[in-house]
Structures are given as C-alpha cells and as structure tokens.
Amino acid sequence: LKCAGVFCSRYVKEHMVKHNADTQHPVALSFSDLSFWCYSCDDYVQSPKLRAVLKHFQKLKFPEDSKDLENKMEELAIKEEDDKEEEEDDDEEEEKKKTEKPSKVPAKDLKARRTALDENEELKAKVKTTGLDYLDIDDLCEKIKSGKFKRISLLTGAGISVSAGIPDFRSPGSGLYSQLEKFKLPYPEAVFTLDFFGQNPEPFFLLSKQLYQPEHFKPTPTHWFIRLLQDKKLLNVNMTQNIDGLEHLAGLPEDKVVECHGHFRSAHCTGCQDKISFSTMEKHIREGKPLYCKKDSCGKPCKPDIVFFGEQLPLQFMLTTTQVLPKTDLLIVMGTSLNVFPFAALVDTVKETCPRVLINRELTGTISGGFEDDDDNYRDIFLQGDCDDVIHTLVEKLGWTEEFEALKKSKVKKMGAK
C-alpha cells in the first residue's frame, strides 16, 4: 500500500497485475469488497492488524450522512421496535418453557471435556458470559430450549445446498466452470467479471441455465431448519453467500434473508442501468441466450442482480453488518469455508460474549476472528459433518422433530420477482 496507486480492479484488464509485476508491491486493498489481496500468495490477507484500515475505508464507502443509508436505518429502527413488542408478547410463553425440565443425555466422549472445563475456574467463568455452561451440542440445545437465545443469526454458504443437487463450480469434469472450457476464458472467474461479460455474455447465460432451475432444486433439510427458527421467532437474520434462492423457496421472508452475492429475482442493463422484468430475464436464462438492451442508444448486455467481481455488495449487506448482526445472541455458521471476504469477516461482527457454532465438514476460519479449537476457546462450538446430518441431530435434541418433518412436507414457494 506504500505507493498509494489506484487501479480499476485486482484483475480486470490487468491494471493492478501489471503494477505488481513492475514494482513487486504485492498487497492491494479492494474498495469494492473491502478486503486485502496478496498477489504473491494469490489469496486474501487475513490479519486483525488490518481491521482499523478496513473500518476507515468502510466509513468512506458508506458515509453516515448518505440519504439512502438514513432511510434504511430508520426502517431498521421501526422494525426493531416491532420485534421488541413481539418479544414482550412472548415472555409469558418463554417463562412457561423455562419451568420444563429439559432432557439431557450427555455423550460419553464429552465427559472428559466437561470435567476439564469444570476444573478450570477462570475459563469456566468466561464461558458462562456467553450464556452457555459447556461448549457442546447438548448444552447448546438446552439453552435454546430454555429460551436463553432469542436472536439467532446464520451465515451460510454452498455447503447447505449440496443435497439439493446444485452443481458446484470447481469439480473437474462436472463443475460449472469445466463446462465453459470451450469459451477459452482467461481464467474461470472471468465469467463473473463485467469486463468479460460486456465482450461475451454467452458463457454467463449458459452457466446460469445450469444454476437456475427452481423447479428441480428444492430446499434442503438445512433450509427448512432455518425456516423453523423463523416460525419460532428465533431467527435474527440469515446472511448467505448463495445465489440459488432456496431460502425464499422455503418461505423465509425477504427481510430475514440477506443475499450477500445477489440473486436472480431482479435484473438490469449493464449500460443504461434500466431495470429488466423478471419474466424477460428468466426466459433468457432458461434458454441460455444473452439478453441485450432494446434501447437504440444502448444495446448493452443485461444481467440478473448477481454481484460480479468488482461490483459493490448490496447496501443491505452493510446495514445488516453494522445494525443487525451485533445484536445476535447466538451465531450459527454453516457450509462455508470462510475464505471469501468480506463475508468471512462477519464472524467477527458479533459481540465477544456471543457463542458461535460452526457446522461444516472441516474446521475453518482458524485466523483471528475465525473459529477457535484450542485450550483458550470460551465460545466456539464445532459440529463436524454434513450440514443436513448435523441439523437432524440438532432437531432431535431440541425436541422439534414433529414440527420439522411437517415443515419439510409443506408446499415449496414459487420463485418470483423481488
């Protein structure tokens, strides 16, 4: 950062790439997604030392005196007041639940960890500040059942949609990127850049044809679990990296889902920025054929509101990050490697006393602000396995099986315009 050079993008037209080659300056700050990138490592730079710099640029990008921001903040304040009234109405019911004795059958392999925690008075006291007594699934479920956690937030990634049959991007031969080899992309991710899209939008529409099939891809058990949290008035917000829209097919309300990387339910022209009807864009996506603006003065390709590399994340992302997530009293992260920024940094936006649960095939986010698995850990619980399998275990321990199974049989909503 010492040269303070400003370039269009990390990769588009190789402006910054050439600068790196000429000067050997490896680190760049991306103003589009508020992250640091290292060309030597070809990866994001992950360090708590950079948070102050990122906060500074965050204020520059989203000034507090922005008219749009003020309006959104006011809407959030009104909604928060409504939520508070709903919580007060539910107090009586919650008090009744607390008098019920929760069932508990601790697993033998957890006894040693509980004993060790009981013997460490200092760490045990710190764990208690989170609302938990122990860092395991049994104690977690007890506390949810007793009404300890009323604002549960979720961060979700591609792992929660795997069982829906949605193809991934990178698997050799079967991945979506491999199906675009005939177009000779400069690099696979180029299909999601405005520069390449402007020259040749066909690869994106062919890829979208494979990805957008709401009649074939149904919500997974994990999606229905999120819906169940909403029905029980426990869901604070679901922030997702996914663009498949399965949250909406499961019936989650718009104001409870933040699609950080966009969605297919609205579209616009990349030239004149005119809005394009959902039905028109959907027809072209299903056919795998590019859609161009009909204005004689424009003629540029149109795209759904999927966030491309270099594009600004939705305003709702920053509003939720600064106004909604900090009020979380339990954070659950599912099916994400926590490698893509700024989404990966969201785990660090909740209070230091907020317990965090990671449901994933492997431990991830071992950087500061990620999920800890060491002797000093006082708030992180790692539940290893496929998301759906772990969710079924959670549902059983919570005593929600009957409601959960009934919800899974409910009618799936149709995909509609945003």
Active site residues: 261
What's the Cα-to-Cα distance from 344 to each of 39, 54, 62, 338, 407, rounded to whole Å?
Answer: 19, 14, 19, 4, 30
Inter-residue contact 34 to 14 (CB < 8 Å): no
Nearest to 246 by CA among 284, 288, 278, 213: 213
Q: Which residues contact 332 (CB under 8 A, 6 or more apart)?
A: 152, 153, 154, 155, 356, 357, 359
From the list 277, 341, 265, the residue with the least C-alpha distance to 309 is 341
**From CA 304, how far away is CA 245, in angstroms rounded?**
13
Give ∠ CA 156-161-165 in degrees, rounded to 5.
Answer: 170
Contact (Cβ atoms closer than 8 angstroms) between residue 371 and residue 365: yes
Nearest to 298 by CA among 333, 268, 336: 268
Q: Which residues pair with 301 in a beta bridge?
A: 292
Long-range contact set of residues 365-372: C-beta below 8 Å, sequence gap at least 24: 365/333, 365/338, 367/46, 367/47, 368/47, 368/48, 369/48, 369/345, 370/338, 370/344, 371/333, 371/338, 371/347
Alpha helices (H) in 146-273, listed in sequence order: 194-199, 202-211, 221-231, 246-249
Q: Which of 1, 362, 12, 3 is nearest to 186 (CA)?
A: 12
Q: What single DSSP character describes residue 324?
A: I
**Rounded-to-integer distance, Cα 172 and Cα 73, Å:** 45
d(CA 408, CA 293) in angstroms, rounded, equals: 41
CA distances from 297 to 197, 267, 398 (A): 19, 19, 59
DSSP assignment string, 97-158 = HHHS-------HHHHHHHHHHHH-HHHHHHHHTTT-SSSSHHHHHHHHHTT----EEEEE-G
Q: Quote the CA–CA distance of 375 and 197 in Å, as a whole number.
A: 49
